[in-house]
Amino acid sequence: MIRAYWSEWWKIRRPGMILGGAGTMIGFAVLAVVLMLSRLDRARGGPGADVLTAAQLATSNGFATLITISATFMGVIALAICAVAVGMEYSTGSLRNLLVRQPARLRLLAGKLLALGSFIALAVVLAYGSALATALLLAPGHGISTAAWFTTAGVQSLLSTAGNLLLATLAWGAIGAVLATVLRSTAAAIAGGLAYVLVAENLLTAVWSDGKQWLPGQLINALAHGGTSAVSYPSALALVGLYLVVALSAASALFRRRDVAA
């Protein structure tokens, strides 16, 4: 498994993966902060004022309000990263060569997933740090004091928000890997994942009032936000974990028994 892990990292080190994956994630996180602050300025302008205020952003949870808007976008990027990394090995036929070197399929899959997970974790940390630095630079110009962010409660909020965002992004990455393993296609995995996240769940929640308590995308979003009015954090964490265990178990069974030819 260790060899599979480092073999996957050798591919991850490519400029396309680093810039297209981690770079895009960092860009979205920074953009979220900029947009939220500009939204605050527009709210001061008159009618239809936004509920977001400088006073809210100056609390110990202020940065969490700024960064969590990017959770879904970062998750979509993680889904695409894992779908590309897994799906391309089917389309290019390189999976056969890997299995010659490591015939224990589950060890190979575990090493790949751990490598992808560590890359996504690193990208989230960099994105979170970049967004925080951006917020600290821009907030004073918008009349927002950031002193409360570094009190005891503020530091706890910063750490818990980072952890929740990391868990949610890893969950989306796991979904991308599962889809690519089941569909054996990068394009189908990304298209299917995006269609579900951006279209299907919105339609389902519109007609199913309890959908936010059970649909995986809604639960992952609740996890990123530390819980919502519709579902508590412990419930979201437990259900997301259950969904991932079932999905990864099914994907592992397919990967172990099915022919690698696409």
Measured between alpha carbons, how far is 185 from 139 in angstroms, rounded to an integer?
43
Q: What's the predicted TM-score (pTM) here? A: 0.91
3-state helix, strand and coil shares in percent for the chain, rounded to the nearest 5: 80, 0, 20
CB proximity list for 207: less than 8 A, separation 6 or greater: none
What is the reported pLDDT for 99? 76
What is the reported pLDDT for 48? 45
What is the reported pLDDT for 261? 55
Measured between alpha carbons, how far is 142 from 57 in angstroms, rounded to an integer?
10
What is the reported pLDDT for 41? 57
Is 108 contained in some domain? yes
Q: Which residues form the domain of 197?
A: 2-257
HEC profile for 96-109?
Answer: HHHHHHCCCHHHHH
> How many folded domains does the chain comprise?
1
Measured between alpha carbons, how far is 152 from 46 in angstroms, rounded to an integer?
36
Give the chain's residues under pLDDT 50: 45-50, 262
48: left (phi over 0), alpha (psi -120 to 50) or beta: left
- CA torsion sign, 121 to 123 to 124 to 130? positive
Is 215 contained in some domain? yes
Is 262 contained in some domain? no
Measured between alpha carbons, how far is 206 from 224 in angstroms, rounded to an integer?
21
Query: 222 by DSSP, 3-state: which?
Result: helix
What is the reported pLDDT for 217? 92
How many beta carbons lie within 10 A of that of residue 182, not counting itself? Answer: 17
Is 161 contained in some domain? yes
With contact defined as beta carbons under 8 Å apart, do 72 and 193 qualify? no
Measured between alpha carbons, how far is 86 from 96 in angstroms, rounded to an integer?
13
What would the pLDDT profile of 151-207 be if each residue is shown by its tens digit?
A: 999 999 999 999 999 999 999 999 999 999 999 889 999 999 999 888 899 899 989
CB proximity list for 157: less than 8 A, separation 6 or greater: 60, 61, 63, 64, 149
With contact defined as beta carbons under 8 Å apart, do 41 and 142 qualify? yes
